[in-house]
Amino acid sequence: MKPIKIADGIYWVGVADWNIRDFHGYSTYKGTTYNSYLVVDDKITLIDAVKKEFADELIGNISQIVDPKKIDYMVSNHTEMDHSGGLARVMHRIGEDKPLYCSKMGHKNLSMHFPQKWNYMPVENGGELRLGKNSLTFMETRMLHWPDSMFSYVKEQKLLFSSDAFGQHYSGPERFDDEIGDDIMPHALKYFANILLPYSPLILKLVEKVTDMGLPIETICPDHGIIWRKDPSKIIKAYVEWSEQKPKRKAVVVYDTMWHSTETMANAIVEELGNHGVHAKPFCLKHDHRSDIITEILDAGAVILGSPTLNNGIFPTVSDFMTYMKGLKPLNKVGAAFGSYGWSGEAVKILNGELEQMKFNVVDPGVRIQFVPDENALGACRELAGKVAAALPAK
């Protein structure tokens, strides 16, 4: 792809992965980009590589600006292989002995990914590297979202290379926020919900720290998706709001069904929640992807789970979803469970146990219906919906 100038001497030299549709379990309907940045100064520096399969394309992009051999420094802000996979090819091309700057954990983790004995230069938090008229200040951002993650900040241009933070899995013709406008926000939200949600408390602390430091930021260059140059404060404010996880009067009803009984219960619960002024919608795991459902859950006050009992357990798709949701650790949720069964009926009890483990406020023992729900059974579903509605905030 054609390199794009971002600031004086700073270029986007990344690649688009138009066809990726699954990113370790997260659905990426719009593909993604692996953003790599070239700083051309007295010392020429490459910030982050790309996925292995795209390394030659990255090198081709760099070559449109400088001979890759002239690159003096490599910076790795994050070890995950969508940014480091191409490193072997890049280091081979620029020179295996060139200094490779990364965090201390980055050094440790990169060494466990690559056998090459590269010229690692582990940096301190706050450490500075002079490039000429520009400099890089390294900021450790441990667990945002790996132990090795760090940001690199160019104070002379008020520009932040933010690694995965503030990214979006989106590939399109646009490169900047002003070219796409608010249409990018749902992609940024989904990215946050599926990648950064477990680290919400750390994000709030980081934003507070950066605000206290009075660090001016005019451009944010993440490692995926578009670059924030028109209004970087917009995505920072959104991250604060999303990290706070303030519950809304909204419920997400997640279920799967074998013979439509659990589905009938889900629909009755959704309808009754609506009667109580709750924004509610059913999501059937046969049709909705786990990563889209998690995105809906981010600002919901309640998650209501429905599963048939299959072989004394919960339905496999519900189990998959619970594993995914538990890992993402959503906060401040009301929970409840329901489901149809044939003869043993353990699913609701199992789901309640898991919701309690996740510190959800479980407001009802749950509704278990044998075989097909009759009017009484649907009445019990409506009662459950009423209890959930009562536990939600007024707005």
* CB 145 to ligand FEO: min, Å: 6
* CB 141 to ligand FEO: min, Å: 11
Q: Which residue, chain included where needed, has tokens 């995965």? A: 164
Catalytic amino acids? 24, 78, 80, 82, 145, 164, 191, 224
Residue nearest to ligand FEO as judged by C-beta position:
80
* CB 143 to ligand FEO: min, Å: 11
Decide whether 17 or 256 has the Cβ nearer to ligand FEO: 17
CB crowding 103-133: b at 16 or more within 10 Å, else e: bbbbbebbeeebeeebebbbbeeebebebee
Decide whether 177 or 223 has the Cβ nearer to ligand FEO: 223
* CB 74 to ligand FEO: min, Å: 17
Decide whether 82 or 177 has the Cβ nearer to ligand FEO: 82
* CB 167 to ligand FEO: min, Å: 7
Decide whether 78 or 250 has the Cβ nearer to ligand FEO: 78
> Across the strands, what pairs with 219?
159
What residues make contact with ligand FEO under the rule CB under 6 A?
78, 80, 82-83, 145, 164, 223-224
Decide whether 83 or 229 has the Cβ nearer to ligand FEO: 83
Beta-sheet pairing, 22-23 with 26-27 = antiparallel
| Integer Cα distance of 219 and 126 in angstroms | 19
> Across the strands, what pairs with 90?
none
Q: 373 and 381 in contact (C-beta within 8 Å)? A: yes
